[in-house]
């Protein structure tokens, strides 16, 4: 079997770059997409702002302390969606096997492509050029023989990067890779790995499958394979939605039970609206609570029947809330999601949480559930 040719395209500081493109006065200046209120959050930061340490998911107050000249711009999600569609039109000129991860990044399988270009790196270079010339935006691209390495490669030379990891280079490249750069390794897992003496790919590769599985469960098998350059996941042109959820950042931190229940009720109502709009049915309800100090917990419950109505979901949400100690730990944010669509799981082994908005470290919107979507720091 011949090696696959996978490209990962990742737009650089996407939201902020769109704003700077559309408003020449913002070019070269530190820009944050979001709002500057007391409870505000940075949804995206331009590279000029990042020089000061500003990044997505940071509170607006902290961002302004780091960069007093920071310019806040309200997000325009409809514009970002439109631009994302234009980017995908370019992708489709080369392949229809496209797996979008968010508005600003996607995997492309170009093993067989519409233009019969033999080298994936040439396709990636053309796509980057087309995005710059046609849309006035900058993208980074990673090229390799699987998704894990293509994603790593796209991050390697940002911004405006183009990096290829060939099969004969992969093991040496992975050996030097910081453990924090591995897919699925967040701050908590990285800290645990450090205590085990795992700081890079070489350290990780020294562990046995049994040892990693013992320490990290099912994820241990992924880490074992990634450290050896193995990732058999296909580029999936159609991504099955696995969860729907919503979150509310409260205007004030609360620890009064009646106030919390009222907010939970409103969150549950919005969740019902989203489930209905997407015709989504699932069996698992998850409650997310973020406290005043930005620590957070989740609690989940699975039922044999579908969770589709307020009469079913609200009592379960209240039940999950009883497992949360918040009297001395005021709540800043409440979130609810429904996952585990059983009819889609007959052939699958597990359910994963999948955010509806773009992933990032600390989500904050406002008390209305029409949230500001955040993008990762790229």
- Tell me whether residue 247 is one of the annotated catalytic residues: no
Measured distance CA(23)–CA(71) in Å, rounded: 12
Contacts 24+ apart (CB under 8 A), 314-318: 314/264, 314/265, 314/268, 316/285, 317/264, 317/267, 317/268, 317/285, 317/287, 318/261, 318/264
Q: Which residues of 187-216 are buried (b: 16+ CB within 10 A; e: fewer)?
A: eebbeebeeeebebbebbbebeeeebbebb
Cis (ω within 30 of 0) for the bond into 195? no
Q: Secondary structure of 24-61 in the HEC alphabet?
A: HHHCCCCEEEECCCCCCEEEEECHHHHCCCCCCCCEHH
Taking alpha carbons only, the member of 373, 377, 376 closest to residue 80 is 373
Say which of 19, 48, 99, 105 is annotated catalytic: 105
Do 178 and 198 meet the contact criterion of CB atoms below 8 Å apart? no
- Give CA 94 to chain center in angstroms: 25
Strand partners, 41: 59
Structure token digits, residue 130 = 């087309």
Do 20 and 83 meet the contact criterion of CB atoms below 8 Å apart? no
Contacts (Cβ under 8 Å, ≥6 apart) of 46: 13, 16, 17, 20, 26, 29, 30, 31, 32
In eight-state DSSP terms, residue 373 is P
Catalytic machinery residues: 105
């Amino acid at each position: 079997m011949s090696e696959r040719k996978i490209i990962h395209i990742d737009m650089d500081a996407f939201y902020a770059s769109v704003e700077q493109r559309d408003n020449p006065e913002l070019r070269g200046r530190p820009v944050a997409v979001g709002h500057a209120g007391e409870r505000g959050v940075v949804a995206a930061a331009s590279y000029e702002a990042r020089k000061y340490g500003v990044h997505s998911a940071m509170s607006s107050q902290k961002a302004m302390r780091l960069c007093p000249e920071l310019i806040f711009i309200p997000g325009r999600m409809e514009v970002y969606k439109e631009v994302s569609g234009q980017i995908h039109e370019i992708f489709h000129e080369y392949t229809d096997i496209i797996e979008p991860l968010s508005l600003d990044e996607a995997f492309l399988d170009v093993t067989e492509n519409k233009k019969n270009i033999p080298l994936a790196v040439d396709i990636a270079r053309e796509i980057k050029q087309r995005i710059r010339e046609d849309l006035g935006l900058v993208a980074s691209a990673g090229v390799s023989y699987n998704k894990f390495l293509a994603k790593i490669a796209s991050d390697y030379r940002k911004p405006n990067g183009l990096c290829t990891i060939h099969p004969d280079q992969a093991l040496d490249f992975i050996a030097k890779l910081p453990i924090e750069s591995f897919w699925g390794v967040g701050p908590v897992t990285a800290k645990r790995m450090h205590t085990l003496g795992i700081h890079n790919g070489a350290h990780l590769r020294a562990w046995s499958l049994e040892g990693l599985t013992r320490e990290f469960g099912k994820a241990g098998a992924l880490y074992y394979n990634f450290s050896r350059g193995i990732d058999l996941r296909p580029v999936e042109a159609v991504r099955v939605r696995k969860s729907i959820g919503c979150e509310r950042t409260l205007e004030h931190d609360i620890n009064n039970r009646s106030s919390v229940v009222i907010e939970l009720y409103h969150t549950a109502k919005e969740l019902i609206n989203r489930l209905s709009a997407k015709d989504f049915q699932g069996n698992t309800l998850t409650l997310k609570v973020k406290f005043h100090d930005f620590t957070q917990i989740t609690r989940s419950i699975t039922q044999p029947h579908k969770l589709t109505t307020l009469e079913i979901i609200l009592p379960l949400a209240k039940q999950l809330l009883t497992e949360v100690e918040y009297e001395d730990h005021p709540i800043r944010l409440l979130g609810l999601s429904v996952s585990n669509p059983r009819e889609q799981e007959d052939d699958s082994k597990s359910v994963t949480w999948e955010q509806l908005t773009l992933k990032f470290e600390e989500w904050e919107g406002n008390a209305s559930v029409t949230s500001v979507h955040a993008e990762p720091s790229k």
